[in-house]
Amino acid sequence: METELLLFSLALIAGLVDAIAGGGGLITVPALLWVGLGPLETLATNKAQGVFGTASASVHFWRQGLIDWRTAGLAFLCAFAGAASGVLFIRHLGGNIPPWLIPGLLIAFSLYFLVSPRVSDFDARQRLGQGTFAFLIAFPIGFYDGFFGPGTGTFFAMGYIALLGYNLRRATAHTKLLNFASNLAAILFFIPGGHVLWRYGLVMAAGQFIGAWLGAHLAMRHGARLIRPLLVIASLAVSLKLLLYPS
């Protein structure tokens, strides 16, 4: 029971952080490894609990009118398909990527995010069409989330801000929607392999749901003042973790 209570508490914190800036996996993945799960079981169980947090945040943002399904629908489908492909890749082929690639990209994005005057509560100029964004950004990031995962929410948010010109609230809302798509696909493709440990996954799902609901409310209330520094911190934290502890 002590283990379940600890996992619930950590998942609640992770859901709150993830709904605002991403990076919740930095809390939940080490926690699952700590209680003795193997790498594949950790990834699968993490997706099982994470899908509830991203669903909670997505519903809240949708009710606030920040998600436009006419433009987000294709990106949702591409993120779903990408994540499904990523799970199949790691289950059947395995995946080794250069250890410096992901943290290097995250550091670059976080520096851009920190200094760019376009990152605010106001929309900026759109650089890509919605269809191009869906296929060239949502699909590969979804694929990455399916076979690895750290920093996925940050990548989605950066893409929406830098390429579609979304303000921080809209970017955060659509990021949670695509995170939900990739988590949903991953869990659906992990379940048949028996990799999900539901004993921990459902306990953490409850914490994720509550934490994400709280985080979404905070993001709506405080906007760029809260999201901007937390997104930078999350980017750098993921980068440090991957550089120092790549496994």
**189-205 pLDDT, tens digit each:** 888 888 889 989 999 99
Q: Is the pLDDT of residue 79 over 90?
A: yes
pLDDT at 94: 46
Cβ neighbours around 112 below 10 Å, total: 16
pLDDT at 137: 92
pLDDT at 121: 46
pLDDT at 107: 64
Q: What is the mean pLDDT of residues 34-39?
A: 78
Residue 170's nearest CA partner among 12, 89, 62 is: 62
Q: Which amino acid is at 185?
A: A
d(CA 198, CA 235): 29
Average pLDDT in the chain: 78
Ranges 17-21, 26-30, 82-86, most confident: 82-86
- Domain enclosing residue 126, as ranges: 2-244
pLDDT at 82: 96
Q: What is the mean pLDDT of residues 203-222?
A: 82
Q: Is the pLDDT of residue 111 over 80?
A: no
pLDDT at 119: 45
Compute and round to an integer the Cα radius of gyration of the chain: 16
pLDDT at 95: 43
Number of folded domains that form the chain: 1
pLDDT at 204: 93
pLDDT tens digits for range 139-171: 999 998 887 776 688 789 888 888 888 887 888
d(CA 11, CA 201): 10
Higher pLDDT, 93 or 160: 160
pLDDT at 227: 56
CB 118 within 8 A of CB 124: yes
CB 196 within 8 A of CB 190: yes
pLDDT at 120: 46
pLDDT at 2: 81
Q: Is the pLDDT of residue 206 over 70?
A: yes
pTM: 0.75
